[in-house]
Amino acid sequence: MKLYYSQGVCSLSPNIVLREAGIPFELVEVNYASKKLPDGSDFLQLNPLGYVPLLELDDGQRFTEGPAIVQYLADLKPGSKLAPAAGTLERVRLQEWLGFINSELHKAYSTLFDTSLPAAVKDAVRKKLEGRLDHAAAKLGDRPYVLGEQFSAADAYLYTVLGWSRFTGIDLSRWPTLAAFHERVNQRPAVREALKSEGLLK
């Protein structure tokens, strides 16, 4: 199994999940600017959209879209408890969180990285994002993880996205619940391993 990634982007989430689940895999870096792989080949031949994560199975099948990938990985190792069983209300809660993070947080943060956008647009996006972070903090409440006591695939995704705050002018300390969550997840051994593998932690 191969995970195609670029440093510091959303592919960190499945990198974490793979390690939490104890699934052997090969990490392949994609040059985000040139779309080239380490061997010089064109990543666009694997994913015409040009973005990561991309998960390649041993039989050659490939999958994109982080929320789908992390659920698939969690289901490979049900004993890891990274996702509740399919068909349960708890699974719907996981999917609810993954959908919220993907559409309401990830996309807003991504917009703030776009250097072509005028400041007024970014200000509007930042204001809307702050409202979504209010909601995330209230929804998380005093639970250690989004589903309660058990770390899940959604926690890996939320951690990854919240990590972009310091690069986008978002002061996460405004939401103590989210700041504490981020630091809690940051201390997990699998998370530390994932960060080191991407050169994000020495």
pLDDT score of 202: 75
Token code pair at residue 116:
């072509």
On the question of pLDDT at 119 being above 90, the answer is yes
> Does 94 share its domain with 177?
yes
Which tens digit of pLDDT belongs to each residue from 1-40?
999 999 999 999 999 999 999 999 999 999 999 999 999 9
What's the total number of domains in the chain?
A: 2
> Does 93 share its domain with 119?
yes
> Does 155 share its domain with 179?
yes
Buried residues in 81-110 as b, exposed as e (16+ CB within 10 A): ebbbeeeeeebebbbebbebbbebbbebbe
Q: CB–CB of 13/157 below 8 Å?
A: yes
> Does 94 share its domain with 75?
no
pLDDT score of 15: 98
Residue type, 114: D
Which tens digit of pLDDT belongs to each residue from 64-91?
999 999 999 999 999 999 999 999 999 9
On the question of pLDDT at 201 being above 90, the answer is no
Please indicate, yes or no, if residue 72 is contained in any of the structural domains: yes
> Does 45 share its domain with 130?
no
Give the structural domain span for 125: 89-188
> Does 94 share its domain with 184?
yes
- Over the chain, what is the mean pLDDT? 97
Please indicate, yes or no, if residue 7 is contained in any of the structural domains: yes
Quote the longest CA-to-CA distance of the chain.
48
Q: CB–CB of 164/9 below 8 Å?
A: no
Count the helix, strand and coil residues of the chain and give each as a percent rounded to the nearest 5: 55, 10, 35
> Does 11 share its domain with 100?
no
Please indicate, yes or no, if residue 161 is contained in any of the structural domains: yes
CATH code assigned at 97? 1.20.1050.10
Residue that is written with structure tokens 């895999």 in the block: 25
Please indicate, yes or no, if residue 202 is contained in any of the structural domains: no
> Does 95 share its domain with 75?
no
